[in-house]
Amino acid sequence: MLLSPKNPALARPVVAEDEPLINTTPLMAPSVVLLFIWMIVPLAMTLWFSVQRYNLLDPTSVGFAWFDNYEFLLTDPALLNAIKNTIALVVGVLAATVVFGVACAVALDAQFPGRGIARLFCIIPFFVMPTVSALVWKNLLMNPVNGLFSWVLKSVGLPAIDWFSNYPLSSIGIIVAWQWIPFATLILLTSLQSLDREQIEAARMDGARGWTLFWNITLPHLYRSITIVVMIETIFLLSVFAEILVTTSGGPGEASTTLPFLIYKTALLDYDVGGASAGGVIAIILANIVAFFLVRTIAHNLER
Amino acid sequence: MEQSTGQKIATALVGWGLSLLMAFPILWMALAAFKTESQAIASPPIFFFAPTLENFAAVFERANYPHFFLNSVVVAGGSTLLALIIGLPAAYAMAFYPTKRTKDVLVWMLSTKMMPAVGVLVPIYLMFRSAGLIDTRSGLVFMYTLMNLPIVVWMLFTFFKDVPKEILEAALLDGARPVQQFWMLLLPLTAPGIASTGLLAVILAWNEAFWSINLSTSNATPLTAFIASFSSPEGLFWAKLSAASLLAIGPILAFGWMTQKQLVRGLTFGAVK
Amino acid sequence: MSSVTLNQIGKSYGALEVVSGINLEIADKEFVVLVGPSGCGKTTLLRMIAGLETITVGDLLIDGERVNRVRPDERGLAMVFQSYALYPHMTVADNMSFALRLAGVDKSERDRKVNEAAKILQLDHLLQRRPAQLSGGQRQRVAIGRAIVRDPKVFLFDEPLSNLDAALRIQMRIELARLHKQLSATMIYVTHDQVEAMTMADRIVVVNKGGIEQVGTPMEIYQNPDTVFVAGFIGSPKMNLFEATATTVDGRTFAHLNSGQKISVPMQLKPGTQITLGVRPEALTADSSGPLAGEITVIEHLGGETLTYVDIGNGKLATIKSGEASLGQVGDTIRVSFAADRLHVFGPDGRAIRIQPRH
């Protein structure tokens, strides 16, 4: 890999002189080529299919549909409903994870006995596979008859709630938020640990206490990390799928059908490749709006 | 600032209270795994009971559980290994031989992670189908390798960046070729970082649910997709569901505990350390 | 024989030129110190010699052979880094024998060489330790030992003493000078500390803004600086530098100091020329008939010597170095003089105008 003729070549062209002594192309190539193919081929295919008439169950439907798929989708109330649900889910979960994440991070940053174990307990949900989380919540906790929640409600004299029938989207939101609070906590906790203790001491000397300290010192310090949490979570939350599949399957009706779930239904249940692809393009556009800002923020960190 | 005893107790109570609240669903599930089915669905709930292992026995007998477990191990382990093998040289090159384009390459790799899975579900499904990869372990290994590659490269990159450049330069002058530098210096120096990177990749692959549900039907089904099948009538058997779930998340909780310190770096692409 | 020749060497990063037009001939067994302020390009120069940076233009020759494209380890050099760059996971002995191991030297020969070097550097009892268990000075010696073991044609040092405390620095300076004699090897040493340059070098190369200002033995450079930069950079306390304008009265040249006073200059200068006068602190003496007068503002007693700072107008301070006795009290006004041959004159381009001795 190193260019090293035993006899240093005076004949070597002057242009090549300044090249680095190591050629990194073979080291980079596998990663770059694989990721490039992985990015470009499916993307191109999605775009292509999205303007095609293509249904796996109907071999007669072929040829260019142009923007019919989009038109069909965009005029279909199901899409609007799915986008609304997606946004509601993402925004709700984001708000919950940031608020509870900050609370957990601050609580776990304080000194108390058994803090290490408590931190571990707090981040457990993040390591639980989504299907397990969803099923545990759906059955053991939120079941309207035998679930723990209904027992708690009954014991304080309130009627039991049929969570997934009456509040399907919120129930899914609760599960997803529970899964992602640890992520926010972990990142904000790390960020808190880099908060200058002297700055806090100085603020205390100036008379800042409790809430004042939190609003004026801690929260501004966390601002950047919160931005990162929000952006990274958004990317993942836009694709929430398994939780919906095992709890409500998008129902009742369309009440908890989000964009990912709609695409899944269109593609793998209705076999409408063209329509699903058009939905995919819309999902990609949505994600890229967020990704644009996230990538910019992270790239900025590289300039060190 | 000295805290009063009251404040100290309050701090501990809040900290432990929030943590236990977060962990509660899993603790409750773990408890149910050792109950009989009737104890598990009893209302009012039962907190004290004689633990039984019959659910674990039942899970192993009825559901061909080891098969799914093995699938998870092969798919998560295989994809992690592959991602490390492909990602290590790239991270090495970018950390120690940066060019003008290095930053762009890193950012571009990150941006491939931003593609929502549903956006490419259709073409991936069709390609897998025509390549005969649907419901194969190698298909999932391939998928997860690519899914984790950007995170692996980024995380390794930040760990390599922590190695002082002079050490490698000294080795260069001592006559170490890149391959020797890698084996004799970088690997021993960054072993903990490489290990956490691997663990994170295992965790992400182990818990992945979208592709496992959509690209496997039974032969290659890993635990995530298998557990999903409990959503139908099987879900009525809460104790067995809990036992199967506990087995499925057990190993990964241990990994998560081992890697928690490095996790943040990996999940935020080095933006928070 | 191990000489190093730099022929019109330059380095650019894109449009940014950091080093240019370097010509330097380093003889066998010579101890050459590259000295200059931080960011002057001296370390880049050393790294180009080592092969850690590519050379944009020019030729680098070691023993007459062009090595621009020769791999660092095949150039026959050893380098001691500022941060020591020891391998943290290896013992001292393994650190020192690493290069030999890579070169396929057998175990007994490796041990012999390591022990030999360890003896020279008094590291015998530390061979099984890890770098983390060593003090700064010991790490420094291990880094030097790692270089010695390889028996290189040329030793390269990149600010090796800058991470040590003052006392240790002096001790290591002496050790390095002794080592140079003992090994009789060619050494190229980079530092920003002119004391290190003065005390250790056979020849000093003063580097500034990516180019060479002056090359010479320490005393040549001290006594006859070619430029204002060299004059101000070499020597401690610093040379007194006064900006002035030349005037002529009755055929004699005077310098009007910007701070107000006037002194005669023993040379012909065009009136109106912007010049800089330089006088070393030890060349200034208290003299009631001296040409310069000023008020003593600060007196520093260093024991064997005394530094007296005299305000010669507009707050411009002149430093006088004298023996144990004080030249006066703070607030006193004293007159100062100097021997004509101790006066340095620099033209508007910053280059020295040599005083022609009059007969």
pLDDT, residue A22, reads 66
Domain boundary assignment for chain C:
4-232, 240-353
Phi, psi of C227 (to 5 degrees): -135, 165
Split at pLDDT 50, 70, 90, the class of A287 is: confident
The two domains C4-232 and C240-353 share their CATH topology (first three levels equal) = no
In this predicted structure, the answer to whether residue A4 has a pLDDT above a threshold of 80 is no
Q: Contacts of residue C146 in chain B, CB cutoff 8 Å?
A: 170, 174
User: Can you give the pLDDT at residue A19?
Assistant: 59
pLDDT digits (tens, 9 = 90+) for B58-87: 877 776 788 888 999 999 999 999 999 999
Phi/psi at B268 (5° precision): -110, 15
| pLDDT of amino acid A102 | 92
Quick check: A148 contacting B, CB < 8 Å? yes
Of the pLDDT bands very low, low, confident and very high (cuts 50, 70, 90), residue A10 is: very low
Asked if C83 and B166 come within 8 Å (Cβ–Cβ), the reply is yes
Domain spans, chain A: 68-302
Output the pLDDT for position B2.
56
A10 to chain C, any CB pair closer than 8 A? The answer is yes
C62 contact A CB<8A: no
Say yes or no for a CB contact (<8 Å) between A122 and B18.
yes
Q: Which residue of B has its CA nearest to C47?
A: B169
Q: How far apart are the first and last CA of chain B?
A: 28
What is the number of CB-based contacts under 8 A between chain B and chain C? Answer: 56
Residue A73 token pair? 């989708």
Q: Which residues of chain B have pLDDT under 70?
A: 1-3, 63, 231-236, 261, 266, 269-273
- Name the burial class of residue C296, with classes exposed (0-12), middle (13-18) and buried (19+) by CB atoms within 10 angstroms of its CB: buried
What's the pLDDT at A303?
A: 58
pLDDT at C22: 92
A259-273: average pLDDT: 81
pTM, two decimals, is 0.80
Would you state the pLDDT for residue B113? Answer: 76
Say yes or no to pLDDT of A98 above 60: yes
- Closest by Cβ to A4, choosing from C55, C56, C74: C74
Return the partners of chain A (3 or more C-beta pairs < 8 Å): B, C
Q: Which residue of B has its CA nearest to A277?
A: B122
Mind listing the pLDDT tens digit for each residue in A185-243?
A: 988 888 888 777 777 778 777 777 778 888 888 888 888 888 888 888 887 888 888 88
Q: What's the CATH fold of domain A68-302?
A: MetI-like fold (1.10.3720)
Distance (Å) from the C-alpha of residue A218 to the closest C-alpha of chain B? 16
Of A299 and B56, the structure prediction assigns the larger pLDDT to B56
Q: Which residue of C77, C101, C153, C190 is the best one to mutate when testing the B interface, meaning the one whose CB has the most B CBs within 10 A?
A: C101
- How far off is chain B from A179, nearest CA to CA, in Å? 9
**Closest Cα to residue C82, out of C122, C131, C140, C150?**
C140
Q: Enumerate the residues of chain A whose CB falls inside 8 A of the CB of residue C74.
A: 4
Flag if B206 and A129 touch (Cβ within 8 Å). yes
Contacts for C302-311: CB closer than 8 Å, 24+ residues apart: C307/C237, C307/C281, C310/C334, C310/C336
Distance CA A73, CA A71 (A): 5
Q: For domain C4-232, is the CATH number 3.40.50.300?
A: yes
The answer to whether residue A126 neighbours chain B at the CB level (below 8 Å) is: yes
- What pLDDT, on a 0 to 100 scale, did the predictor assign at position C358? 45
Tens of pLDDT, residues A139-148: 888 887 778 8
Q: Render each residue's pLDDT in chain C as its tens digit; 359 residues.
A: 689 999 999 998 888 889 999 999 999 999 999 999 988 999 999 999 998 888 989 999 999 889 988 888 888 899 999 988 999 999 999 999 999 999 888 999 999 999 999 988 888 899 999 999 998 889 999 999 999 998 898 999 999 998 888 888 898 899 899 989 888 889 999 999 999 999 999 999 999 999 999 999 999 999 999 999 999 999 989 999 999 999 988 888 888 888 888 888 888 888 888 999 999 999 999 888 888 889 999 999 988 899 999 998 888 889 999 988 888 889 899 999 998 889 999 999 989 987 655 44
Contact between C353 and C253 under an 8 Å Cβ cutoff? The reply is no
pLDDT at C188: 95
**Do A230 and A297 meet the contact criterion of CB atoms below 8 Å apart?**
no
DSSP string over C120-153? HTT-GGGTTS-GGGS-HHHHHHHHHHHHHHT--S
Contact across the interface for C68 and A20, Cβ inside 8 Å: no
Element (H, E) at C205: strand C203-208
| Of A132, C152, A111, A50, nearest in space to B251 by CA | A132
CA C99 to chain B, closest CA, distance in angstroms equals 4
The predicted structure's pLDDT at residue B270:
65
At residue A15 the predicted structure's pLDDT band, cuts being 50, 70 and 90, is very low
CB contact (8 A) between residue B92 and residue A27: yes
User: Could you read off the pLDDT of B11-60 as tens digits, one per residue?
Assistant: 888 889 999 999 999 998 888 888 887 787 777 777 778 788 888 888 77
pLDDT bucket at A14, cuts 50 / 70 / 90: very low
C54 — contact with chain A (CB < 8 Å)?
yes
C147 or A9, higher pLDDT: C147
Residue in chain C closest to A20 (alpha carbons) equals C54
Structure tokens at C127: 């061979």
Indicate left, alpha or beta for C24 from its phi (over 0: left) and psi (-120 to 50: alpha).
Answer: beta
Domains with residue ranges and CATH for chain B: 53-267 (1.10.3720.10)
Q: Any residues with CB less than 8 A from the CB of C315 and at least 6 apart, and which?
A: C259
Q: How far apart are CA C134 and CA A286, in angstroms?
A: 56
Note the pLDDT of residue A7: 38
> Nearest by CB to A8, which of C54, C56, C70?
C70
> Does residue B26 sit at the A interface (CB-CB below 8 Å)?
yes
Distance between CA atoms of residues B60 and C308, nearest Å? 92
Please answer whether residues B93 and B131 qualify as being in contact, where contact means their C-beta atoms are separated by less than 8 angstroms: no
In the complex, which subunits touch C with 3 or more CB pairs below 8 angstroms?
Answer: A, B
Judged by CB atoms closer than 8 Å, whether chains meet at C98 and B164 is answered as no
C-alpha radius of gyration, chain B, whole number: 23
Cα C287 from Cα A87, distance rounded (Å): 89
Q: Which residues of B touch C99 (CB under 8 A)?
A: 173-175
Burial pattern C143-170, b for ≥16 Cβ within 10 A else e, equals bbbbbbbbebbbbbbbbbbeebeeeebe
Per-chain mean pLDDT for chain A: 80
Task: Specify the fold of C240-353.
Answer: OB fold (Dihydrolipoamide Acetyltransferase, E2P) (2.40.50)
Distance in angstroms (rounded) separating the CA atoms of residues A188 and A226: 7
Task: Return the residue in A17, A19, A23 with the most chain C beta carbons within 10 A, the one to mutate for interface testing.
Answer: A17
The one-character DSSP state at C212 is: E
Angstrom distance (rounded) from CA A179 to CA A127 = 8
| Average confidence score pLDDT of chain B | 84
Token reading at C300? 């520093």
